[in-house]
Amino acid sequence: MSQINTQSGAAIANDAVLIDPVEVARARAKRRDRVLQWLLPLIIFAIAIFLWDQLCVWNEIPSYILPRPGLVWNTLVTDWGLLSFSLLNTLKITFLSLALAIGGGVGLAVLFTVSRRVEMSLFPFAIILQVTPIVAVFPLINIYVDDQTAKLLLCAWIVAFFPILSNTTLGLNSVDHNLRDLYRLYGASRWQTLWHLQLPAAMPFFLGGLKIAGGLALIGAVVAEFVAGAAGQSSGLASRIIEAGYRLNAPRLFAALLLISVTGILIFFATSLISHLILRKWHESALKREI
Amino acid sequence: MNQSPLISLNGITKSFSNGTVALRDMAMDVQQGEFVSLLGPSGCGKSTALRIIAGLAPATTGTVSWGDTSDSSVADSSHDVSFVFQEPTLMPWATVFGNVFLPLKLKGQSKAAAREAVMEALALVGLEQFENSYPRELSGGMKMRVSIARALVTRPRLLLMDEPFAALDEITRFKLNNDLLELWQRFNWTVIFVTHSVFESVYLSNRIVVMAARPGRVVDDMAVDAPYPRDESFRTSDIYSQHCREVSAALHKAMDSYQPGTAA
Ligand SMILES: Nc1ncnc2c1ncn2[C@@H]1O[C@H](COP(=O)(O)OP(=O)(O)O)[C@@H](O)[C@H]1O
Ligand SMILES: [Mg+2]
Closest C-alpha to ligand 1, atom 12: B22
Name which residue leads in pLDDT, B225 or B262. B225
pLDDT digit string, tens, across residues B186-206: 888 899 999 999 999 999 999
Q: In the beta sheet, which residues pair with residue B191? A: B35, B159
* Mean pLDDT score, B238-255: 89
- Say if residue B72's pLDDT is above 80: no
Residues A13-37 as b or e (16 or more Cβ within 10 Å = b): eeeeeeeeeeeeeeeeeeeeeeeee
Residues A256-275 as b or e (16 or more Cβ within 10 Å = b): bebbbeebbeebeeebeeeb
pLDDT of residue A47: 96
The answer to whether residue B90 is domain-embedded is no
Among A128-137, B89-98, B106-115, whose mean pLDDT is lowest?
A128-137
Among A29-33, A192-196, B87-91, whose mean pLDDT is lowest?
A29-33
pLDDT digit string, tens, across residues B48-59: 999 999 999 999
Mean pLDDT of chain A: 88
* Closest-CA distance of chain A to residue B56, Å: 7
- Say if residue A232's pLDDT is above 60: no
Is the backbone of residue A121 left (phi > 0), alpha (psi -120 to 50) or beta?
alpha
Q: In the beta sheet, which residues pair with residue B162? A: B194
- Say if residue A1's pLDDT is above 50: no
**CA–CA dist A90, A93 (Å, integer):** 5
Taking an 8 Å cut-off on Cβ atoms, the answer to whether A186 and B102 are in contact is: yes
pLDDT digit string, tens, across residues B40-50: 998 899 999 99
Looking up residue B62, the CATH number of its domain turns out to be 3.40.50.300
Percent of chain B scoring above 70 in pLDDT:
91
- Taking residue A1's Cβ as centre, other Cβ atoms within 10 Å add up to 5
**CA–CA dist A184, A178 (Å, integer):** 10
**CA–CA dist B81, B103 (Å, integer):** 11
The answer to whether residue B67 is domain-embedded is yes
Closest C-alpha to ligand 1, atom 26: B43
Report the domain count for chain B. Answer: 1
Percent of chain A scoring above 70 in pLDDT:
90
Running DSSP on this structure, what letter comes out for residue A61? -
Architecture of domain A69-286: Orthogonal Bundle (1.10)
* Mean pLDDT score, A128-152: 86
Closest C-alpha to ligand 1, atom 10: B22
B193: helix, strand or coil: strand
* Among B253, B227, B221, CA closest to B240: B227
DSSP B12-37: EEEE-TTS-EEEEEEEEEE-TT-EEE
Q: Which residues contact B133 (CB under 8 A, 6 or more apart)?
A: B95, B96
Running DSSP on this structure, what letter comes out for residue A217? H
* Mean pLDDT score, B141-148: 94
The answer to whether residue B108 is domain-embedded is no
The answer to whether residue B137 is domain-embedded is no
Q: Which residues of A touch B154 (CB under 8 A)?
A: 186
* Closest-CA distance of chain B to residue A15, Å: 26
Q: Which amino acid is located at B116 in the chain?
A: E
Percent of chain B scoring above 90 in pLDDT:
67
* Mean pLDDT score, B167-184: 91
- Separation of CA A190 and ligand 1 centre (Å): 27
* Mean pLDDT score, B65-91: 73
Taking an 8 Å cut-off on Cβ atoms, the answer to whether A186 and B85 are in contact is: no
Taking an 8 Å cut-off on Cβ atoms, the answer to whether A181 and B83 are in contact is: yes
pLDDT of residue B68: 67
* Mean pLDDT score, A153-173: 93
pLDDT of residue A9: 46
Taking an 8 Å cut-off on Cβ atoms, the answer to whether A178 and B85 are in contact is: yes
Taking an 8 Å cut-off on Cβ atoms, the answer to whether B107 and A179 are in contact is: no
pLDDT of residue A6: 44
- Say if residue A235's pLDDT is above 90: no
* Closest-CA distance of chain B to residue A286, Å: 11
Residues A62-78 as b or e (16 or more Cβ within 10 Å = b): ebeebbbeebbeebbee
Q: Which residues of A touch B135 (CB under 8 A)?
A: 282
In this complex, the residue of B81, B92, B106 whose CB is nearest that of residue A188 is: B106
* Among B201, B202, B219, CA closest to B210: B219
Residue of B nearest to A287 (CA): B136
Query: Which helix (H) or strand (E) covers residue B192, if one does?
Result: strand B190-195
Q: Which residues of B touch A282 (CB under 8 A)?
A: 92-94, 134-136
- Taking residue B191's Cβ as centre, other Cβ atoms within 10 Å add up to 24
| Alpha-carbon dihedral sign for residues A178, A184, A185, A188 | positive
* Mean pLDDT score, A213-229: 89
* Among B32, B22, B107, B34, CA closest to B61: B22
Among A33-42, A90-99, B67-76, B245-254, whose mean pLDDT is lowest?
B67-76
Strand order in B7-15's β-sheet?
A: B21-30, B7-15, B61-66
pLDDT of residue B77: 44
pLDDT of residue A19: 79
Residue B55, chain A, CB below 8 Å: the answer is yes
The answer to whether residue B114 is domain-embedded is no
pLDDT of residue A282: 84
Q: Which residues of A touch B148 (CB under 8 A)?
A: none
Query: Which helix (H) or strand (E) covers residue B209, if one does?
Result: strand B207-212
Q: In this complex, how many residue pairs, one in chain A and one in chain B, have their CB atoms less than 8 Å apart?
A: 60
Taking an 8 Å cut-off on Cβ atoms, the answer to whether A282 and B92 are in contact is: yes
pLDDT digit string, tens, across residues B149-167: 999 999 898 999 999 999 8
Name which residue leads in pLDDT, B201 or A14. B201
The answer to whether residue B35 is domain-embedded is yes
The answer to whether residue B180 is domain-embedded is yes
Query: Choosing among A185, A196, A278, which should be mutated to test the B contact, i.e. which has the most B CBs within 10 A?
Result: A185
In this complex, the residue of B85, B91, B106 whose CB is nearest that of residue A187 is: B106
* Closest-CA distance of chain A to residue B137, Å: 9
Owning domain of residue B233: 7-80+156-255
* Cβ atoms of B235 and B62 closer than 8 Å: no
pLDDT of residue B231: 86
- In angstroms, the Cα distances linking A174 to A117, A181, B112 are 18, 14, 31
- Separation of CA B78 and ligand 1 centre (Å): 26
Give the binding-site residues of ligand 1, using a 6 Å CB cut-off.
B 16, 18, 20, 22, 40, 42-48, 216
Q: What ipTM, to 2 d.p.?
A: 0.88
Residue B108, chain A, CB below 8 Å: the answer is no
**CA–CA dist B76, B79 (Å, integer):** 6
Q: Which amino acid is located at A233 in the chain?
A: Q
* Among A150, A160, A146, A144, CA closest to A106: A160
- Say if residue A136's pLDDT is above 90: no
Q: Ligand 1 pocket: which of B12, B37, B39, B47 to mutate (most atoms <8 Å of CB)?
A: B47
pLDDT of residue B257: 63
The answer to whether residue B105 is domain-embedded is no
Taking an 8 Å cut-off on Cβ atoms, the answer to whether B106 and A196 are in contact is: yes
Q: In the beta sheet, which residues pair with residue B13? A: B61
Taking an 8 Å cut-off on Cβ atoms, the answer to whether A187 and B91 are in contact is: no
Is the backbone of residue B163 left (phi > 0), alpha (psi -120 to 50) or beta?
left
Residue B92, chain A, CB below 8 Å: the answer is yes
Q: Which residues contact B41 (CB under 8 A, 6 or more apart)?
A: B196, B212, B213, B251, B255
Q: Which amino acid is located at A10 in the chain?
A: A
